[in-house]
A and B are shown apart, each in its own frame.
Chain A
Amino acid sequence: QMQLVESGGGVVQPGRSLRLSCAASRFSFSRYGMHWVRQAPGKGLEWLAVISDDETNTFYAESLKGRFTISRDNSKNTLYLQMNSLRAEDTAIYYCAKDRFSFGYLMDFWGHGALVTVTS
């Protein structure tokens, strides 16, 4: 059974930075696009970013305004989300998800999520 495990969440002050990681196992990580999606407490799902299998293509939600960066290290089977200038409204569970293809917009498997709380 494939596995995605997020880490790096926690409590952070507004304006600070945080980097999330997503460790993948039991599938060929380097062959698939990967996504980050978040869910604020009691709210719906918000798609954030996608990266292609070979890192050459990335795409972001307009709402992020350049504050977040998605990246990956295929040698480590790990996906990252660098989050800068954090705001209270960034408080959410952050999920990484595997794409069905090398680059697309269909998330066919999700990790269990990492909670990020932005508060002073």
Chain B
Amino acid sequence: EIVLTQSPATLSLSPGERATLFCRASQRVNIYVAWYQQKPGQAPRLLIYDASNRATGIPDRFSGSGSGTDFTLTISRLEPEDFALYYCHHRTVFGPGTKVDIK
């Protein structure tokens, strides 16, 4: 089974800064990685699918890239509402998550 690892586990940044989150797959997965955002007490929300496509209604400060085994989610300028947990996902597997918190 494919395993997804995410780094860093926690990212401490200030509003307005750029956030770069990484996801690595244990086997090549083409472009089939998605990213979800989850805030405390809320359901996950799809941000990015097929590595680089923004889901409906997602602001353009969120972008994704990668293929094969290495993927990146970038938030160009952090807004206060962006401090949350982020999970990468491939088919039936989720990564352990990266927490973006306020520095």
Q: Given A44-B87, A112-B43, are A105 and B49 neighbors across the interface (CB < 8 Å)? A: no
- Which of A45, A59, A105, A106 is in CB contact (< 8 Å) with B44? A45
A46 at the interface (CB under 8 A from B): yes
Q: Which of A88-120 contact B (CB under 8 A)?
A: 95, 100, 105-113
- Minimum distance in angstroms from B76 CB to a CB of chain A: 23
- Tell me the number of A-to-B contacts counted with CB atoms below 8 Å: 43
A47 at the interface (CB under 8 A from B): yes
Decide if A46 touches B94 in the complex (CB within 8 Å).
Answer: yes
For A, the interface residue count at a CB cutoff of 8 angstroms equals 19
For B, the interface residue count at a CB cutoff of 8 angstroms equals 21
Decide if A110 touches B91 in the complex (CB within 8 Å).
Answer: no
Decide if B34 touches A95 in the complex (CB within 8 Å).
Answer: no
Decide if B55 touches A108 in the complex (CB within 8 Å).
Answer: yes
- Expressed in whole angstroms, the Cα–Cα distance for A108 and B91 within the complex equals 12
With both beta carbons as reference points, the residue of chain B lying nearest to A105 in the complex is identified as B91
Q: Given A95-B44, A100-B49, A108-B46, are A47 and B92 neighbors across the interface (CB < 8 Å)? A: yes
- Which 10 A-B pairs rank lowest in CB-CB distance, beginning with the nearest? A110-B43, A105-B91, A45-B94, A47-B92, A108-B46, A44-B96, A112-B43, A44-B97, A110-B44, A106-B49
Q: Which residues of A contact B (CB under 8 A)?
A: 37, 44-47, 59, 61-62, 95, 100, 105-113
